[in-house]
Every structure is written in C-alpha cells, then in structure tokens.
Structure 1
Amino acid sequence: MSDNVLHAVAGAGGGVLSMVLTYPLITLSTRSQVESKRAQTTVLDATRHIIQREGFSGLYAGLDSAVFGISVTNFVYYYWYEWSRAAFENAAVKAGRSRKLSTVESMIAGAVAGSATVLITNPIWVVNTRMTARKRGAPPPSPSLKPTLAEPTPRPAAPTTIGEVKALLKEGGIGAFFAGVMPALVLVINPILQYTIFEQLKNLLERRRKRSVTPTDAFWLGALGKLVATGLTYPYITVKARMHVAGKNEHVSVLTALRKIVKEEGWSGLYGGIAPKLVQSVITAAFLFAFKDALFKVAQATLRNRRAQAAKLLLLKK
C-alpha cells in the first residue's frame, strides 16, 4: 500500500473521529447560516431551542451523512494532496533541491486536491446541510386538528438520508445535488490556506527541532491553520450553506446571493453562526491533524510489521 493511500485512510479516520466529537457545534453553525438575521439568537438560546423542539438528537441531525461525507471527503482530499505532494518532491529530488514543499507548491497541491474533492463530494454535503438545517419540516397541522393548550406540540420528524435524496431528485433533479458548487470551488482556498500554513509551520518546526512533529504539535498547528482559513473565508461558507437549502426557484449566482444577504441583513448576515463555526472548525481541525498523524504512524508501523512477518515466512518456507 502506497503512502498516499495510507495518508488517505488516516485522514478519513481522523476526520470521522473529529467530526463526531464536534458535531453539535456544526448543527448550531449551519442553522445560524441558513436562517435570516431576524431568527438568529445566541448560541445558548439556539441550543435550548433545538433540545426543546427535537430533543438531544436534534444536535446530531444529519450525523450519518456527515460521517459518510467526511470520510469520503478526507480520503479523496488526502489521496490527491499526497499524490501532488509526491510529484513535487520527486521533481525536487531530480533537480537536486530539498524535498520540502515551497509555499507555492503547497498551494498548488491543495488546489488540485480541493477541486477534486468538491466535485466528487458536493452531493453528499448538499444532503447533509439540508438534514442538519431541517429545511423540510413536518407539514402544518390541519385547522381542525390544532393541538389544545394541554397537548404538547409534536416534534418534527427527523429527516432521513434516503428521504432527502428523494426530495432533491423530485425538486431539482441531478442538478440539485450540485447546488452551491461554485462557492464550494471558491472555498477551495480554505484548505489551501489551512494546509499551506500547516505545512510551512511544520517545516519550520522540524528544521528547528531536527525531528518530525508529534501529534500534539500537529494538533496546535492544525488549529492555527484552520482559524486563519475559516476567519478569512466565512462569508462564502454562509453563501454555500444557503444555496444548499435553497428551493428550486431560489437558485442564484454567488454574487447575487452575497448582495441579497448584505441588503436584507447587513454585513453581519454574512457572519451568522461564526462563533460556533470557528470553535468547531478549529477544534475539528486540531483533532483531525492529531488523529491523522497518530493513525498514519500506527498504520505505517502495522504495515511494516506485516511485511517483515511475510518476509520471515518466505524465508522459513525456503
């Protein structure tokens, strides 16, 4: 198994673990992004509202599609990132230069990996965003069946992945699964910034310490990279989320969506849910880099041991 496949598997595993740990923050951020300014409240009030209406499970709406999505996303991203990185490193060795990636090379590798990931996984995240935001609620009760004051308001039924897929196909066909793909492609700059900052700080740290970084180092470097990247690209994250949940007749261009939000809600509308998103993004990225680094080393050691055992068995047979 090649190193780029090992990195892809480790990235997928690290992504799933970090996603599960921070998913309630993703729910809070996504709902803040897709609601208008009038509906937004504090993070604490939003949490209470979700729990009262939907129970604790409401904080994990769409977790199944998110776990599937992050595993596929990270596998694809890390496979192509490491493939691009290996190509640059091999070219550097042939030219007699250092194997360490330059800033430009890191950005190009991130652009290649990010673009491939967006095109392959956008349908998964459209479904997940709709489930997390619960765009399709339960139908309103009939006037003759209004609940009395003594009767509790029924909780809306939790959407299912299959149900959302059917709804999307019915509403807009295959094209509905690629809603928001343009801002998503623009947002490729997010992982480019994140991984470029991470790689360059990692290279600097390894040169100073003269050894490879530890999972703890990766945790803090990953957190710093994600903090900068998310803070700079958040307006596009908001636009992408709203385009994912837009109805069939609501799809507009990225610039039109940006202007509409600013006109109706002010500039602050572009930053709805940024507090939980920053916290979630930074914590998720920190755990992702730490988990990925640890999982890669474990996978690499396991593969090395298996190869050694296989070689011993061959010698014994001879």
Structure 2
Amino acid sequence: MAVQSKVEKPQQLTSFGYALAGALGGCFSTAVVYPLDTIKTRIQAAHTEDADEDLSELSVTSLALKIIKEDGFLGLYRGFAATMLNTFSMQYAYFFFYSLVRTSYIKRLAARRPHGSKAQPLSTAAELLLGAVAGALAQIFTIPVAVIATRQQIGSPHRPKKGKGKGKEGDVEEEDERDDSFLGVAREIIREEGVTGLWLGIKPGLVLTVNPAITYGMFERIKSVLLVARAKTGRTDTKLAPWTSFLVGSLSKTLATVVTYPYIMAKVRIQTRSVDDDTAKEEHTIPVHHGYHHKRGHHPGALDILIRVWRHQGFVGWYQGMGAQILKAVLAQGVLFMSKERFEQWALAIMILWYKFT
C-alpha cells in the first residue's frame, strides 16, 4: 500500500511537469521541421543590399538544393545538437516560468475573489503580460545556446586566414580549419567578443518575448472561447481535439510572427555578425572578425539594422525570409500544440516513476 500511495501521489503536473512536457514537445516539433529552420536562418542572414545579389537563390527550394549540393543532406542539419539543446532549455525555461507566474497570478486573484464566486478566465492582456515575463526570464538564461546554434547553422563565413599563398590566378587567401563543434564555436565567440558575446542579440531577444506571449495568449484566449461555446451546447469536455489545437496554434503563431518578424530578422543578423560586414561596406572599412583587434561590444543594434534595411530595400526588406519563418514556425507550433497534451501525459508518467524510485 505504501508503494501504491507513492505512485498515485502525483495526480497532476507541477510547474516542473509542465516545463518538462513543453520542452519534450518543443524538441519533437523542432526536430520535425529542422531543415526549414536551417534554411530560414540562412535566408535571414543573407546579404541582399548588393545590386547583383540573386534573390531567386533565397527561395526555400533553391537554398535547400544549394545546401545539399555543397554539404550533402546532413548540411540541412548543421547545428542540430545545439539547436535541440537550445530548444529544450528555452522551452523548459519558458514553460516553467510561464506555469509558475500564471499559477501564482491565478492564486493571487483567487485570494481576492469573494468566497463562493466563480473564477473568470484571464484576460488577453493578462495572458500577454504573463507570457512576456516568462519569455524574458527564459531568454536571459538560454540565449548563449541560441547564439552558438545560430552560428553553427550559418556555418560562419568569417573564417580566420592563414595568410596569402600563390596560385595560378595570383594571390589566393587560405582558410584555417575551423572547429564547428558546440564548444569550438563557444570558444571562438568568447575569443572574439568576450563572454558577453554569448549574449549577442539579447536586446531584440527581450523585445521578441512578445512573440510567445502573443502566441500563447491568443491560443489560450481562443481556446477559452471555443470551450465556452462548447459548454453552451451541453458538452462538458475541457480539451480541444488535436486538429483543432493544430489550427488554433497555427493561427496564433502566424499572427505573432507577422507582428514581430522584423526584429526576428535583426536578431539573426546580430547573432551571426553578418551585420558587421554591412557596416564595413557602408564605412568603406575592413571588419576584423578575429583576434583582439576587434573592439568588443560595439555592433549595430536592431534599430540600426532595420533603418539600414529600410534604406536599401524598403519595407519589403524587413520581411526577407518571412515565408520560410512562418512555414517553419506554424508547422512546429502546430505540432507542439497538437502533441502538447500527449507530452503532458508522458511527463506525468515520468514524474510518477521518479517519485516511485526516489
């Protein structure tokens, strides 16, 4: 009986359980669409200000074929391990903090509510605020892994040079072999930028906390409306069907992506440092990407990037690669929402086993 009571004790998920379920679901959905993630990152970081840039090469199909031709099929999975680590840590941190702050907020509201009165669904504004707080906390703790994963996906075109050698055509620059491993990229970033380089893009990252906030806020709001409408028809089930969750999740993520996309693009350019080359071209200087000659911490911010893109490409430039971003985000988010309850069940089972054997 003692064992029985120990197994049955975790009847519902805690903040830890919801975080685990969200992290597992996030990893699964990201893995399903990972090639798209690599492609959209390449598109976002690409230089298109030059007049001779062939924009047709930035389509999803063209870029996929180019990557496969140059790096093989595995080229579509560059940085996969780092991205999975980033996804797990980010999703875990987000769901943990979101569950924590949301539960705390609901308890505070319950304490102020008159005894016997019925609890009301949270307002859209409250859901957005709670999501933003959770997203900001998650960003601060997990962005170093995101920076490393992004550099790995790009393949970092900024490689150190050995010097110049002689070829048939004259002087030819030779490239050093570069350590593309997780730790190798981390060491390179720290060598170039210092430890703070691991937090490149933190400012636009904090602004982008409104993205998951909009996504989950809209999802919860639409879900509440659907469940209330269902209750009026006499149905008492409190869960959405998987395909309904997929559609609602996709709609929510599309809206969030359209609203925040310019900052998403700017963040990628900051983290890959492709923006340094843009600045060098405008100032007619040569960017120093390696060694201690680089002045650390002085890079164009997100607003600088958006102003430059506007000047060269107009409003359309702010949405370079948005098609790939939405396709990837919608598929991943839809899969996540559709499988979320399944992963919650698995997380509860893991908690029960953990409680049983500890």
- Find 2:345's aligned residue among 297, 303, 315: 297
Task: Confirm or deny: 8 A CA contact 1:90 1:99 kept in the other structure.
Answer: no
Tell me, in whole angstroms, the C-alpha distance in 1 between the residues paired with 2:352 and 2:145: 35
Give the 3-state SS of the residue equivalent to 1:126 in structure 2.
helix
Q: 2:332: which partner in 1? A: 284
Total equivalences in the alignment: 302
Task: Confirm or deny: 8 A CA contact 1:93 1:99 kept in the other structure.
Answer: no
Give the 3-state SS of the residue equivalent to 2:122 in structure 1.
coil
> Structure 1 pair 93/260, CA: closer, same or farther in 2 (3 Å)?
same
- Find 1:167's aligned residue among 184, 188, 213: 188
Q: Does 1:89 align with 2:106?
A: yes
Tell me, in whole angstroms, the C-alpha distance in 1 between the residues paired with 2:251 and 2:82: 27
Higher deviation after alignment, 96-105 or 45-54: 96-105
Amino acid at match of 2:181: T
Task: Confirm or deny: 8 A CA contact 2:17 2:351 kept in the other structure.
Answer: no
Residue 49 of structure 1 and its aligned partner are, at CA, apart by 0.9
- Find 2:46's aligned residue among 35, 42, 49: 35
Higher deviation after alignment, 21-30 or 263-272: 263-272
TM-score by length of 1: 0.87
Q: 2:35: which partner in 1? A: 24
Q: Does 1:3 align with 2:31?
A: no
- Find 1:61's aligned residue among 62, 74, 78: 78
> Structure 1 pair 13/302, CA: closer, same or farther in 2 (3 Å)?
closer
Give the 3-state SS of the residue equivalent to 1:287 in structure 2.
helix
> Structure 1 pair 158/57, CA: closer, same or farther in 2 (3 Å)?
farther
- Find 2:141's aligned residue among 117, 120, 131: 120
Tell me, in whole angstroms, the C-alpha distance in 2 between the residues paired with 1:243 and 1:264: 18
Amino acid at match of 1:262: W
Q: 1:200: which partner in 2? A: 221
Task: Confirm or deny: 8 A CA contact 1:127 1:165 kept in the other structure.
Answer: yes
Q: 1:240: which partner in 2? A: 267
Gaps of 5+ in 1: 148-153, 311-318
Amino acid at match of 2:79: G
Tell me, in whole angstroms, the C-alpha distance in 1 between the residues paired with 2:125 and 2:118: 15
Higher deviation after alignment, 204-213 or 283-292: 204-213
Tell me, in whole angstroms, the C-alpha distance in 2 between the residues paired with 1:268 and 1:125: 26
Amino acid at match of 1:299: A
> Structure 1 pair 126/93, CA: closer, same or farther in 2 (3 Å)?
same
Tell me, in whole angstroms, the C-alpha distance in 1 between the residues paired with 2:181 and 2:353: 42
Residue 45 of structure 1 and its aligned partner are, at CA, apart by 1.3
Cα deviations across residues 116-148 of structure 1 (Å, max 9, x unaligned)? 01111111111111111112466679654679x
Structure with more of its chain in helix, by fraction = 1
Tell me, in whole angstroms, the C-alpha distance in 1 between the residues paired with 2:354 and 2:97: 26
Higher deviation after alignment, 194-203 or 244-253: 244-253
Give the 3-state SS of the residue equivalent to 2:240 in structure 1.
coil
Cα deviations across residues 199-237 of structure 1 (Å, max 9, x unaligned)? 001111222223222333322211111011001111100
Tell me, in whole angstroms, the C-alpha distance in 2 between the residues paired with 1:143 and 1:44: 36
- Find 1:77's aligned residue among 70, 80, 94: 94
Give the 3-state SS of the residue equivalent to 1:101 in structure 2.
coil
> Structure 1 pair 257/207, CA: closer, same or farther in 2 (3 Å)?
same
Residue 157 of structure 1 and its aligned partner are, at CA, apart by 7.0
Tell me, in whole angstroms, the C-alpha distance in 1 between the residues paired with 2:179 and 2:61: 22
Task: Confirm or deny: 8 A CA contact 2:200 2:270 kept in the other structure.
Answer: yes
- Find 2:65's aligned residue among 44, 48, 51: 48
Q: 1:227: which partner in 2? A: 254
Give the 3-state SS of the residue equivalent to 1:263 in structure 2.
helix
Q: 1:213: which partner in 2? A: 240
Q: 1:187: which partner in 2? A: 208
Give the 3-state SS of the residue equivalent to 2:300 in structure 1.
coil
Cα deviations across residues 31-81 of structure 1 (Å, max 9, x unaligned)? 011111125422211111111111111111111100000000010000110
Tell me, in whole angstroms, the C-alpha distance in 2 between the residues paired with 1:146 and 1:57: 33
Residue 101 of structure 1 and its aligned partner are, at CA, apart by 1.9
Q: 2:125: which partner in 1? A: 104
Gaps of 5+ in 2: 1-9, 170-174, 231-235, 277-293
Tell me, in whole angstroms, the C-alpha distance in 2 between the residues paired with 1:60 and 1:306: 33
Q: 1:315: which partner in 2? A: none
